A = this chain, B = another copy of it.
Amino acid sequence: MTTKPEAKTVAVVGATGAVGAVLLRELERRRFPVGELRALASARSRGAHVRFAERTLEVEEARPEAFAGVDFAFFAATGELSKSLAPVIAKQGGVAIDKSSTWRMEEGVPLVVPEINAATLEKQRGIVACPNCTTIGLVMALEPIRRAAGLRSVVVTTLQAVSGTGRPGIEELERQEGELARGDAPTCKTYPRPIARNALPFCDRFSEAGYTIEEWKLLHETRKILDLPELELSMTCVRVPVPVGHSASVLVETERPLTAAAARQVLAAFPGVEVVDDAPRELFPTARDAEGRDEVLVGRVRQDIGFARRLWLWQVADNLRKGAATNAIQIAEEMIRRGLA
């Protein structure tokens, strides 16, 4: 018996942020069954206004009381908010879908990209984690290849958009672009070096062994989502002066031989992936092409020179859509489909 899904009470935490804005727009555009919508944020943004379904909503503070009766709470805010509030929601029988890194590596919390590991949602206990925006694009390109030929190792250099840092990143790029256009020196508030007309081998902060937090996330999250705890994955994460759209230059070593043509086929057949790859027509995917789209775009698929089991590919995805808001909403949609919420 398929019926129209019951309307849900939905909270969006971080409604005033870069991902929050896309969440509100996508909940409406995807016709997510929203009965009531609560726009929440930290105390700082209380009283701001956001638009949803042609109504103006006042942003309320994300306090425990604000979640009474909530079916789905989407967290697109600081980790502190979801750390304290997600368990409250779970306890009340709702589901917290968290875009922060707080819960991702927690034992028993599924880390979900629905096209890849939706089945792990069956074991959720009220908290589901949404992976990092960089990880989602990468695993979407790796999973079809893994299914076809197995994964032995992956080497990746990312080129990440400033919106991965939220509104402050976008503001930093726009301010510096204006400063440079006026002939002024760029001022740095969000990143330690100018991002306009530059590339920074530095996302988030430095952590252990000379790697950044972003790089460690990419390793651990990819292993968890693909359920390959020993996967050899090696990476450098780079910030580039692109507003929206994370790119990744990926060298994949497979367990079994896989031609570039066969790789293109399995990638194109995978839900949510689109292959844009035609050398004679000079077609390849770029961040600008991915912006505003839900699909992960893959191109420049080619065999490594001299290595039959290694493939290069170039992968791009809208970090605010599939890299964040879309993936979070897909998680909720999948839970409704499975009768889990």
Contacts of A303 in B (CB 8 A): 209-210
Is the beta-carbon distance between B181 and A305 smaller than 8 angstroms?
no
Interface residues of A in 139-179 (CB under 8 A from B): 155, 157, 159, 177
Picked from B157, B299, B306, the residue with its CB within 8 Å of the CB of A249 is B157
Q: What's the Cα separation between A247 and B300 when bound, in Å? A: 20
Picked from B194, B233, B286, the residue with its CB within 8 Å of the CB of A288 is B194
A238 interfacial contact with B, CB 8 Å: yes
Interface size grouping (class) on chain A:
35 or more
Q: DSSP class of A's interface residues: helix, strand, loop or mixed?
A: mixed
Interface centre among A199, A247, A286 (most CB of B within 10 A): A199
Is the beta-carbon distance between B202 and A282 smaller than 8 angstroms?
yes
Interface residues of A in 254-309 (CB under 8 A from B): 260, 279-280, 282, 284, 286-289, 299-307
Contacts of A200 in B (CB 8 A): 284, 286
Since A159-B159, A202-B282, A236-B249 are in contact, a sample of 14 more A-B pairs with Cβ atoms closer than 8 Å, ordered by chain A residue number, is A157-B249, A177-B181, A194-B288, A198-B287, A201-B247, A205-B282, A209-B305, A210-B260, A210-B301, A232-B306, A234-B312, A238-B249, A240-B240, A240-B241
Query: Which residues of A come within 8 Å of B, CB atoms?
Result: 155, 157, 159, 177, 181, 192-194, 197-202, 205-206, 209-211, 219, 232-234, 236, 238, 240-243, 245, 247, 249, 251, 260, 279-280, 282, 284, 286-289, 299-307, 310, 312, 314
